[in-house]
Amino acid sequence: MARTSRYCFITGFLRSGTTLVEKLVHALPGACIAPQPFPFLYYDTKRAFLRARGAGEERYPLGSLFREERYRPEDFQAFLGARRLTREAVAASFAAMRGYRGWKLPALAAYGTQVRSGSFAEVYRELCDALPHLLGREGSRVLGAKEVFCEEFIPYLLAEDVSVVLVLRDIRDVLASLKFGGGAAYVDAGMAPLHILRQWRKSVAFALQFSGSPGFEVVRFEQLVAGARAWLDGVAARLGCAPAPAGAIEDLRDQEGRAWEGNSSFAPLRGVSQAPVGRFAGTLPAAWLAAVEAHCAPEMQVLGLAPAAAAGAGELPDMPPGELELERERLRVIARGTATEAEQRRWCIFPRAYRRLAQSAPGAL
């Protein structure tokens, strides 16, 4: 029997605006979107892939892919295409979340023990099918979830007819939100600034690689908060939903129906606000700002983000020896514009992303 529901997936790096996007899409009539309902399913799946490749356990299995030469994104996509998730494996992922701040636990975990064995996409859809009942929104036909760090799942989910929204935000505001104010509540304290930059660059690489692909959309946080209604109306049309009712954006609600005050690292915000845009200017130390703009210069240029600091040495806090030279080598390879495919993948993940960065066409996304 053909599926009557449509499925979507929202992802991006931490503090990029994925929660805002999730709340906006959930506000559409007939849509039911969950906020990070089963994060361990993604982590466990990537760990299984790494084990199959003979790689050891990693602190961040969904890493930055910076200089990753053990496998390519295509290898992970092929693994997902061939892998069957058993009911026991799904239940184990939920069991590992005991004590975790997971959404709708233990109700969703109980449902997870009943999920049929199948491909990752089949399990994803079946878990999403439970959401309307959990939220009292029976009859919803656009179902999905939000999860950060999961760009690596994008090509597989697109191939499985799951719509994907990737959220991008100015790296300077991302870093300010993670490392200042109340940012410690949202990130592992051991996550170094350089790792944050590289994870963000991964998001940009996937955006450049899949822009224009059917079912894929990049939303820029800065543009979203400046025109949320227009963006949401477009999403509604693409997903086959009615537009959000009048006032829904101004009085944005969470999945329990409560007024949503955002999850800013600095101050509560009602609904959609432009206040977080450019906050880095009064937050990031000058040395941090100079380093960020140096190491992310190609990505910033292709996104049309103007630098705000004088050139600096490029040192970041907790930067291990040798990493600064690696960052400089990456910039040299991009500036050269004639790297081999292996070099393009080593430094920029995808050849297409490398070419776009080497061309440095501002405003491309």
Reported as a single tens digit per residue, the pLDDT across 183-222 is: 777 777 778 999 999 999 999 999 999 999 999 999 999 9
Structural domain includes residue 117: yes
pLDDT attached to residue 101: 65
Between CA 28 and CA 8 the distance in angstroms is 13
pLDDT at 228: 97
User: What is the Cα–Cα distance from 328 to 314, expressed in whole angstroms?
Assistant: 9
Q: Which of 100, 35, 46 is nearest to 70 (CA)?
A: 46
- Contact (Cβ atoms closer than 8 angstroms) between residue 72 and residue 345: yes
| C-beta separation of 9 from 165 below 8 A | yes
365 lies in some domain: no
CA-atom Rg of the chain in angstroms: 20
Task: State the pLDDT at residue 104.
Answer: 74
DSSP string, 228-246: HHHHHHHHHHHHT-PPPPT
pLDDT at position 3 is: 59
Can you tell me the distance from the alpha carbon of 222 to that of 278, in angstroms, rounded to the nearest whole number?
9
pLDDT lower than 50: segments of the chain: 1-2, 361-365
Distance separating alpha carbons of residues 21 and 235, to the nearest angstrom: 11
Are 201 and 299 in contact by the 8 Å Cβ rule? The answer is yes
Nearest CA to 216 out of 3, 10, 1 is that of 10
Write down the pLDDT at residue 129: 94
Q: Is 364 inside any structural domain? A: no
**Which CATH number is 311's domain given?**
3.40.50.300
| Diameter over CA atoms, the chain | 61
**What is the number of domains present in the chain?**
1
Helix, strand, coil shares, percent, the chain, to 5 = 45, 10, 45
Predicted TM-score (pTM) of this structure: 0.95
Q: What is the pLDDT of residue 185?
A: 75
Give the rounded distance of the alpha carbon of 189 from its chain centre: 19
The answer to the question of residue 199 being in a domain is yes
Residue 63 lies in a domain: yes
Q: Is residue 135 part of a domain?
A: yes
Q: Is 185 a member of any domain?
A: yes
Owning domain of residue 319? 6-359
Q: Is residue 1 part of a domain?
A: no
**What is d(CA 170, CA 1) in angstroms, rounded to the nearest whole number?**
44
Is 109 within 8 Å of 94 (Cβ atoms)?
Answer: yes
In eight-state DSSP terms, residue 2 is -
Do residues 340 and 348 make contact, with C-beta atoms less than 8 angstroms apart? no
Cβ density class 175-205: b for 16+ within 10 Å, e for less: bbbbbbbebeeeeeeebbbbbbbbbbbbbbb
Residue 310 to residues 72, 75, 277, 287, 288: CA-CA distances in angstroms?
A: 36, 41, 20, 9, 11
Give percent of the chain with pLDDT exceeding 90: 78
